[in-house]
Structures are given as C-alpha cells and as structure tokens.
A and B are shown apart, each in its own frame.
Chain A
Amino acid sequence: MNPLPLASSDSAARQSTSLLRWGFLQRYSFAVLSVAAALGAALLLNHFGFRDATVPLFIFASAISSWYGGPGAAVLAVVLSSLAFDYFFVPPLYTLYIAPSELPYFVIFALFTLLVSWFARIRHRVEEDLRNARDELESVNRELAKRTAALETSNKELEAFAYSISHDLRAPLRHVSGFAELLRSGAAPFLNEKSTRYLKVVLEEANRMGSLIDDLLAFSRIGRAEAHYSSISLQQIVQEAVGEARQDANGRNIVWRVDALPEWYGDRSMLRLVVINLISNAVKFTSTRSEPEIEIGCSERKNDQVVLFVRDNGVGFDMKYSAKLFGVFQRLHPQGAFEGTGIGLATVQRIVHRHGGRVWAEGKVEGGATFYFSLSKLTGAN
C-alpha cells in the first residue's frame, strides 16, 4: 500500500491560529486596551480602597495580551503595565520617577509580569501545537477512511469482475468445446486428416483456455481470501505433500529427503498450497531424470524468520530468466514439454508475500533447481 501523502499545503493552512488571523494593528491595540482596562479597573478599585487587586489586574492584562496577541503585544503590555503601575501606584504618584525604596517592588512587579506573560506564551504555543496535531490526525483519519472506502469499492469491483469471468467467459467456451465435439462425432466420416486435426486443436485449445480461466480465478481467490493464521507444523505439511506426490508419481523411483522442519505461524491451507506447488514442480521437472532426487529442508532459522527450500536435480533453468519464474502464466519451457499453465509459482509468491516473506530460486540449465521461500514471524493480529 502506498504511504499516505500528508498534504503539506493543508497542514500549513491549518497552522493559521488566532495569532495569524489577527493583524498587526489589532494585536497591539488589544495589548493597549487590555492594559488600559486593567488600569481603569485598578483605579476604580483603589478609589474604593481595594489596593490588593492592582498587581493581579496588570499581570492579567499582560497575560491575555501575550495569549491572544503574541510576543510583540506581550512586550508592549508589560512595558505599558510597568509604566502605568509606576505612574499611578508607585510613590511618588503621578510621576515616572521611582523612589529608591520602591525600586525593588517595581522591579519585582515588572519581572513577575514579564514571567507570567512568557509562561502564557509557552502555554499558548503548546496548546496550538496540540490543536495542530489533532487537526492533522483528523485529516489523516479522514484520508484513511476515504482510502478504505475506495479500497472496499475496488475490492467489490474485483470480485464482480472475477465472478463475471467465472460465469460469463466459461459459457461460450463450453459451447465452442461442446459443438466442436458434436461436429467431430457427426462429421468424422467425411473429414480428412487435416480437418480432423484442426478440430482436435479447437477442442484442445478450448479446454486449455478453460484451465487458464480456472487457474486465474483460483489465483485471484488466493489474493482475496481471508487468511486464518494459527500455529502449524511445517514438517507435517511437507510430509503430507510428499505423501501425495509419491502417490501421484508412483512407478517413479524418486529419492526423497526431508529435513527436520520447525513449527511456524501461518495459514495452514495456504502454506500447504505453497509446498504442494513447489513439490509437484520438482516432480514434474525431474520426470526426464533416471535417478530423480528431491530434497526439502530448512536453510535458515532465526527467531523472526525461517527459510525453507525445495531442491531437485531436474532440468533446471537459466538464471537469466529467474525473474520470470514467478509471473502469472510465465513458462520457461515450451508448451507441451511439461504440462501446466504457469500459475503455480505465481500462486506460491502471492501466498509467501501474504506471509511477509519472499521467494527466490537458484538453478542451472540441466543442473537442477532450488526454490527458497522465507516466512516472517507473524503475530495473531495479522
């Protein structure tokens, strides 16, 4: 699946918070008004004898200027507050002069106001970051939901497509095969050798296309099928597959070697298919050998990964074309030399990929082939 692109223009736009939405003038006016309001309130309260409210009022004005107006407004508010505090409340009153005895009190006031504004600034930034992060998360979630829906739709379409192939494509094929067969049985006495062969080809090809469609459907089903992961014995799966292959190849003196194989976690029926495909390939491509040998073993075993191989001494292949081995309907041998449509290894690859592994092969023309597949440690959640 493609990584989700985080639309950078989107996130930049989302960063427009209260700070950016307010213009320069508005921010500084806000600071001036806050301090003026604080001053007014302080004077009013002083008039009625409440002196203790003065300092908190100025600090509050500076803090909200910092919160809503940004750093510049904060500095302006702190300066204005200090001046107003000095002018109206620090003796001697109504001058900007500060008596030496009052200086520490004034400095503490100014520093404290500055500190509170600074904290307000930091707190505001944290809040903004959180908000941005949340917005981003929401947008990613929305994008994800959109993609999930698109994926579901395309899965449904794929299913409908496979169904249509399954049903509609096979019907005309059956008719070609059926009526050609009827023609053959009806017209046999009148057909010359050539025409008889033509009809035979028509029939064979119709049947081959039938197999291709069936294989393609089975292949697409593997991709769509839900996997059921559980703890499985690879040893047992291989033994069973070898047992079946032995029966199918009865009469042939194949020498089988099966190493000890570990327990693993995976979809039993799918991995069975992998093993059966690889083993039946080995049986198929050793059919021309007088002393066929097939070995199944484990070439690497780590905590989180295991590599299994199936080795044969059959006809092998040219490493030049090894990339083609796992393609759908790709064959490295001419039609007729060995049977099969060329879906087996594609199926193997698809299943192994679903198990978080990979599949590769080594071989030599007339020198046998070894097919490896790795399986990753999957957890139950997968």
Chain B
Amino acid sequence: MDVLGRILLVEDDSKDVELTLTALDEYNLANEVVVATDGEQGLDYLYYRGKFMQRAAVNPAVLLLDLKLPKIDGHEILRQIKSDEKLKMIPVVVLTSSREEKDMVASYKLGVNAYVVKPVDFHEFVNAIKELGVFWAVINEPPAGSVRKH
C-alpha cells in the first residue's frame, strides 16, 4: 500500500489545528500532517530551515494554507512558493475563514490550486477537510519532487 505524502498545514489557531486534525483522523490522514503555526515556520519547512533542517528531502503532497498568519501571511507564502521553480508544483489549498472576494481573487492570481472557506457547521467542516485530504493526498497524482514514500 502507498504511504501518503505529507500534508503541510500552516495554521496559527491551535483550535483550528485540532479540528482539522480530528477531521483528517476520520480518514486516518492525521499522522501524515506537519503543522506550522506561523508563516515563517511554513517557509522553514519548505526550505529545510530551522527545526526542519534535517527533514527528508521531499516536497509535501499538499499544502493547506491559512491566509491570516503571524509574521508572514498566506498570500506571501503562496507568492514565494509559486515563484520558486522547486516549489511551484506543490498543490496549495487556501483554507480560510475569509469569504471576501478580494482574498479569493488575490489567491487565484497568485496561482492557488483551490480556495476553501472553512464552514461554520462542523459536519460540513469535517467533510470539506476530509475531501481535501483524500483528494490531494490520495487521489491526486503528485508532481515529481513530492513523490509518495513507498
């Protein structure tokens, strides 16, 4: 059986992290999630810096990205990823509370692969996260560089 590529979750709100992990756990995807709690950590993971210096040299299968983040915000991370030859292939899903059109437009302009507004209803939230996890980490064929570990 395939071992899933890791899911990088960049989210500063610990409660959102908990709810997201709970949702992913229903599909046994939680173990493969790496959590970065601010924008800087997210970039550290992608660039093998700081506490992620020693991590395995593989891109995440998918990046779940909040927009409003401490230090470096989601749009800036998105911009850096999509303008870096080594990283631009990573599928990025913006996972945000913001229903504002300008956030959505800005994200798509920067090349985001999907834009998901976190539903208030928990069942909807679980379903959205599950589907995201399953689609991007299981169904979707990842690009070269973020191959699944076998």
Contact = CB atoms under 8 A, between A and B. Distances in A.
A179 interface: yes
Contact of B19 (A174, A206, A210): A174
Contacts of B96: 167
Given A167-B68, A179-B15, A182-B22, A173 B120 contact: yes
Contact of B120 (A162, A177, A217, A221): A177
Contacts of B16: 171, 174-175
Interface in B1-44: 13, 15-16, 19, 22
A210 B121 contact: yes
A207 B15 contact: no
B69 to A, nearest CB: 12
B100 A163 contact: yes
A181 B19 CA distance: 10
Interface residues of B, number: 20
Secondary structure at chain A's binding surface: helix, strand, loop or mixed? helix
A182 B20 CA distance: 12
Contacts of A29: none
B121 A167 contact: no
A210 B120 contact: yes
A170 B122 CA distance: 12
A267 to B, nearest CB: 16
Contacts of B15: 175, 178-179
Contacts of A163: 98, 100
B55 interface: no
B118 A170 contact: yes
Nearest to A173: B120
Contacts of B67: 167
B115 interface: no
Nearest to A210: B120
Contacts of A209: 120
Interface string B108-136: 00000000001111110100000000000
B99 interface: yes
B97 A171 contact: yes
Given A174-B19, A175-B15, A179-B15, A166 B120 contact: no
Q: Which of B19, B120, B125 has the largest number of chain A CB atoms within 10 A?
A: B120
A214 interface: yes
A163 B97 CA distance: 10
Q: Which of A162, A166, A178, A179 has the largest number of chain B CB atoms within 10 A?
A: A178
Given A174-B16, A177-B120, A217 B22 contact: no
Q: Which of A181, A203, A210 has the largest number of chain B CB atoms within 10 A?
A: A181
A206 B120 contact: yes
A179 B67 CA distance: 22
B121 A207 contact: yes
Given A167-B68, A174-B16, A175-B19, A181 B122 contact: yes
Q: Which of A167, A180, A207 has the largest number of chain B CB atoms within 10 A?
A: A167
Q: Which of B16, B119, B121, B125 has the largest number of chain A CB atoms within 10 A?
A: B121
Given A171-B13, A177-B122, A207-B120, A166 B98 contact: yes
A221 B22 CA distance: 34
Nearest to B96: A167
Contacts of A167: 67-68, 96-98, 100
Interface in A159-200: 162-163, 166-168, 170-171, 173-175, 177-182
A181 B118 contact: no
Given A173-B120, A175-B15, A166 B125 contact: no
Contact of A170 (B19, B97, B101, B123): B97
Interface of B: 13, 15-16, 19, 22, 67-68, 96-101, 118-123, 125
21 contacts: A162-B100, A163-B98, A166-B99, A167-B96, A170-B97, A170-B120, A171-B13, A173-B120, A174-B118, A174-B119, A177-B122, A178-B15, A178-B122, A178-B125, A180-B122, A181-B122, A182-B19, A182-B122, A207-B120, A210-B120, A217-B99
Given A162-B100, A175-B19, A177-B121, 14 more contacts: A163-B98, A167-B68, A167-B96, A170-B120, A173-B120, A174-B122, A178-B19, A180-B122, A182-B22, A182-B122, A206-B120, A210-B119, A214-B99, A217-B99
